[in-house]
């Protein structure tokens, strides 16, 4: 194993003081910015290496693989693709697993992902599983001889194999109906909900953990249950709590957090992960989705003993921002779901839990329960953190805090790491 320490001497760095960074990549932890062509070029220019993160993403309804090379995103052509590269791409997304990669006709991909095609260049073809993908060559459509692109699958997720047949106005949930649902316990009491996205990671809301993130010993995550209090269900302690650095308790944006478990979960039908959405994937107005949790069944009431669930439609930002509703309080970080007439809603204790939507028999995490006025009242639908808007942050945290190939050390909000992966 070798550790490469590199200094990039060629990129032009400028101070933000008195100089515009418009059109450039800006390091969030320093006063430096530089040309976007230095992003994802295999050399760390920011002190914390953030310019070499977010270099891989899955896009569109089919999960096509895209690579950011020198600041430009390109869809990977399947010509000369090596399946061993799939493992490396999944690791860069923060996953510890790799399921498969396959080709998909270019004509089946959304037009937005057909514009730039790339092939991956390997300087170390015998070490595909230990490299970080960044070195690519841009191709025209005619140069992609296979006329197809790569679809990547890192994790089996979004299924309910054991299901056969804060929620106000909802129904009691059955075992296996929402196997990704987690119960976050603080000092042995249910506090919030969460969603399983990998064997080690839970998504929840930042407001659930803000001010309580430093002492992980007081927290536990319970999964595979439908009734509280817990008896014989799977419990995990926490290794790490990470919430968005821009979250403020009096604000409404950036209400997203990740919990890393000390030990991985075993998926068994009653415990399963939900899929994250892909870049560019939208849940259209009117789409019927599900909310679930142990929240109060009436506004101001106690949390529920049984998990409840309800089906709610996705609402447009226009409707939720209108007069008499939230009047302009909606931001790109939020998605609104529920009924303007009231009746079904999330409530106290449901915070952080899932807004789950089914697409082509695959369940995806559209939102994390964030805020609202009261419970199930007229013109007060619930607001959820829009997961597709938080994808970059989620994958970055998973990659930074991966235990595979990385040594990391952190303060409350900032992490520094030294990667021991080679670059191709």
Rounded Cα gap, residues 157 and 274, in angstroms = 5
| Class of residue 317 by CB neighbours under 10 A (exposed 0-12, middle 13-18, buried 19+) | middle
Alpha-carbon distance 278 to 256, whole Å? 17
- Smallest CA-to-CA distance from 177 within 166, 162, 192, 167 is with 162
Residue 85 carries which DSSP code? H
**At 203, is the secondary structure helix, strand, or coil?**
strand
Residue 234 host element (H or E): strand 234-236
Q: Are 19 and 26 in contact (CB under 8 A)?
A: no
DSSP per-residue string spanning 30-43: SSEEEEGGGTTSSS
Q: Which helix (H) or strand (E) holds 14?
A: strand 14-15
Phi first, then psi, for residue 259 (nearest 5°) are -115, 125
Catalytic residues: 207, 255, 351
- Contact (CB, 8 A) for 348 and 296: yes
Q: In sequence order, what E strands does 109-170 have?
A: 117-120, 131-132, 136-139, 148-153
How far, in whole angstroms, is CA 169 from its chain's centroid? 29
Strands 64-69 and 56-59: antiparallel
Per the omega criterion (within 30 degrees of 0), is the bond before 229 cis? yes
User: What residues form DSSP beta bridges with 234?
Assistant: 223
CB atoms within 10 A of CB 379: 16
If you search the block for the tokens 């090596």, which residue do you land on? 82
| Joined tokens for residue 124 | 């170390």
CB 62 within 8 A of CB 153: no
Count of beta carbons in the 10 Å neighbourhood of residue 148: 19
Three-class SS state of 271: coil
259 - beta bridge partners? 202, 241
């Amino acid at each position: 194993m070798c550790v490469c320490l590199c200094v990039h001497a060629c990129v032009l760095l400028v101070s933000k003081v008195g100089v515009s960074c418009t059109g450039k990549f800006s390091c969030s932890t320093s006063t430096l910015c530089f040309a976007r062509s230095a992003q994802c070029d295999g050399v760390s220019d920011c002190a914390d290496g953030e310019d070499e993160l977010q270099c891989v993403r899955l896009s569109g309804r089919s999960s096509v693989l895209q690579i950011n090379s020198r600041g430009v995103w390109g869809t990977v052509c399947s010509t000369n693709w090596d399946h061993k590269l799939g493992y490396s791409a999944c690791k860069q997304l923060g996953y510890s697993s790799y399921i498969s990669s396959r080709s998909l006709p270019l004509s089946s991909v959304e037009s937005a992902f057909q514009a730039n095609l790339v092939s991956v260049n390997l300087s170390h073809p015998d070490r595909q599983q230990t490299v970080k993908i960044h070195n690519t060559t841009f191709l025209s459509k005619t140069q992609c001889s296979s006329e197809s692109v790569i679809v990547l699958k890192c994790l089996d997720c979004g299924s309910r194999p054991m299901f056969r047949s804060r929620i106000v106005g909802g129904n009691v949930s059955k075992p296996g109906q929402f196997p990704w649902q987690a119960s976050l316990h603080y000092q042995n009491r249910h506090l919030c909900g969460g969603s399983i996205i990998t064997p080690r990671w839970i998504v929840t809301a930042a407001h659930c953990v803000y001010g309580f993130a430093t002492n992980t010993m007081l927290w536990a995550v319970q999964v595979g249950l439908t009734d509280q209090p817990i008896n014989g269900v799977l419990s995990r302690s926490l290794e790490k709590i990470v919430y968005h650095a821009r979250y403020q308790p009096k604000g409404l944006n950036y209400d997203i957090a990740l919990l890393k478990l000390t030990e991985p979960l075993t998926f068994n039908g009653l415990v399963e992960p939900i899929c994250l959405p892909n870049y560019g994937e939208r849940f259209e107005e009117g789409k019927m989705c599900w909310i679930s949790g142990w929240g109060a069944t009436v506004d101001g009431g106690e949390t529920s003993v049984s998990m409840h669930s309800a089906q709610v439609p996705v609402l447009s930002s226009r409707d939720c921002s209108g007069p008499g509703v939230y009047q302009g309080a909606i931001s790109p970080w939020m998605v609104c779901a529920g009924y303007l007439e009231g009746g079904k809603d999330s409530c106290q204790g449901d915070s952080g839990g899932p807004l789950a939507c089914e697409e082509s028999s695959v369940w995806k995490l559209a939102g994390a329960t964030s805020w609202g006025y009261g419970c199930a009242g007229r013109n007060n639908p619930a607001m959820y953190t829009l997961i597709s808007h938080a994808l970059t942050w989620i994958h970055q945290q998973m990659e930074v805090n991966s235990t595979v190939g990385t040594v990391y050390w952190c303060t409350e909000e900032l992490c520094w790491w030294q990667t021991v992966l080679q670059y191709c």
